[in-house]
Amino acid sequence: MDTGTHIVMGVALGGLATLDPVVANDPVMFNAVLVGTILGSQAPDFDTILKLKNNAIYIRNHRGITHSIPAIILWGILIPLIIYFFVPEVNFLHLWLWTFLAVFLHVFVDVFNAYGTQAFRPFSKQWVAYGFINTFDSYIFFAHVAGIVAWVLGANPGPTFLIIYGIIVLYYIKRYFDKKEIVKTIKEFFPDTEFIATSPTIKQNNWRVAISTKDRYFVGTVIDGHIQLYDEFERVPLPDIELIRRAKQDKNISAFLSFSPIYRWEIIEYDNYDEVRLTDLRYRTEGYYPFVAVVQIDNEKNLLGSYTGWIFSEHKLQTKLSFNNTPT
């Protein structure tokens, strides 16, 4: 989910914690738990700082190891320990339970986005992306905001957020069946479908889809149950040639390949160098595919420049490549 939703979830969990008598009957304990749930709901995304180094490291690690089982356990222990160091009179067990819940829910809700997480590491490095909740879902966000406003106006936070989370659970179930129906429709239309990436939009009945069949890729939308295709590409695996083997040694190409389950590739030949370009097909926006990985390799197979990340114009992409002339 987006940062704003994770923040309001942390506040809401602090309110929900008042159902716990140990929290409700002690203002100091309540404040400690509220801090714990807010920090816990943000902790797995602290890896955003990796953007300061480069996009390749960020893409390879964001929602990766920081959203893994060991990380959930670590965050769940470290945050309450830090709080307990400053407020030793609180009940550590209950502080830990509510903080751990906040960390767990952060990772749990992220697996339902199209981006997904590596939530099952170290047992599996596979990206888990169920793709039926938008990264920013206005229904979920404003349900939390409504609960917080009601709390500020005097409502009992425990029962208030218990009701809200009950409604959100039903909403998740609805969205699951929405996606299930979309997958059924696509498989009826393309019987040889092997993989479907779904990405819900802010509009409830409007979904972006990328479809992989035995020999084709299709990109389109499903609106009110009707499939509309925008692009079609031949499905061709990356060739086992020296240029591609060299490209895979670049950090940006390697990061992209570790993350993207459905992409197309192309090789563009220039006089003094070749350009290998990989394009993720899941995020088509207004006719443009913004998530790419590009590497430029000269005729002696030296890496000249590379980039991976979100880019919305060819001009900006070439600018990024010209600045990044030290790939590894």
In a domain, 119, yes or no: yes
The total number of structural domains that make up the chain: 3
**pLDDT value of position 328:** 44
107-149 pLDDT tens trace:
999 999 888 888 888 888 788 889 999 989 999 999 999 999 9
Q: Give the tens place of pLDDT for each residue, 18-45.
A: 999 999 999 999 999 999 999 999 988 8
Q: Is the dihedral of CA 48, 10, 63, 208 positive or negative?
A: negative
Instruction: Give residue 326's pLDDT.
Output: 47
Q: Determine the Cα–Cα distance for residues 169 and 2; give it in Å rounded to an integer.
A: 18
Q: Does one domain contain both 94 and 199?
A: no
Buried b (16+ CB within 10 A) or exposed e, 258-285: ebbebbbbeeeeeeebbbbbbbbbbbbe
C-alpha to C-alpha distance for 107 and 280, rounded to whole angstroms: 23
The pLDDT tens digits of the residues spanning 33-77 come to 999 999 999 988 887 766 666 666 666 666 777 788 998 999 999
Q: Report yes or no: 102 and 9 within 8 Å, Cβ to Cβ.
A: yes
At residue 217, does pLDDT exceed 70? yes
> Does some domain include residue 182?
no
Partners of 217 in the beta sheet? 212, 233
The answer, yes or no, to whether the previous bond of 122 is cis (omega within 30 of 0) is yes
Among 174-183, 216-225, 253-262, where is mean pLDDT lowest?
253-262
Residue 196 is predicted with a pLDDT of 95
Pair 89, 117 in one domain: yes
φ and ψ at 36, to 5 degrees? -65, -45
Answer yes or no: do 131 and 203 share one domain. no
Q: Is residue 184 part of a domain?
A: no
Residues 246 and 230 in one domain: no
Higher pLDDT, 282 or 316: 282
In a shared domain, residues 308 and 162? no
Task: Specify the amino acid at residue 46.
Answer: F
Q: What is the pLDDT of residue 39?
A: 96
Same domain, 151 and 225: no
The domain containing residue 228 runs over which residues? 191-234
Residues 83 and 54 placed together within one structural domain of the fold: yes
Same domain, 222 and 262: no
Cα–Cα distance measured from residue 250 to residue 297, given in angstroms and rounded to the nearest whole number:
10
